[in-house]
Amino acid sequence: MLTTMKRALLKGAWELNMASLVEVVEGLKIIVKHCGPYAICAEHDIIYAGGDDIELSLEEIKQLEDLSWHFEDGVGWGAFV
């Protein structure tokens, strides 16, 4: 589970910026290190990966945010495409 400190870092990450193909791929490279290759799903305009219980470092969280990814409770990390 994410710590309070990590959740505070995530505040404001809900900007609905569309991720580029490179940002999606780079984000998936970070997430797959923590959950394996099959923890992924997609909806109409968003890709989700990792689930909401993976442990990421603060640096990885920052990297994902910089790559236009956001965190959603109960789902995990997502990128609008």
- As a whole number, mean pLDDT of residues 57-63 equals 97
Question: Quick check: pTM over 0.85?
Answer: no
d(CA 68, CA 78): 9
Task: Say what percent of the chain tops pLDDT 90.
Answer: 64
Question: How sure is the predictor about 8, in pLDDT bands with cuts at 50, 70 and 90?
Answer: very low
Question: How sure is the predictor about 36, in pLDDT bands with cuts at 50, 70 and 90?
Answer: confident
* 1 assigned to some structural domain: no
Average confidence score pLDDT of the chain: 84
Residue 64's domain comprises 24-80
* 52 assigned to some structural domain: yes
What's the confidence (pLDDT) of residue 1?
A: 47
Tokens representing 11?
A: 């505040």
Q: Give me the number of domains the chain comprises.
A: 1
- As a whole number, mean pLDDT of residues 43-63 equals 93
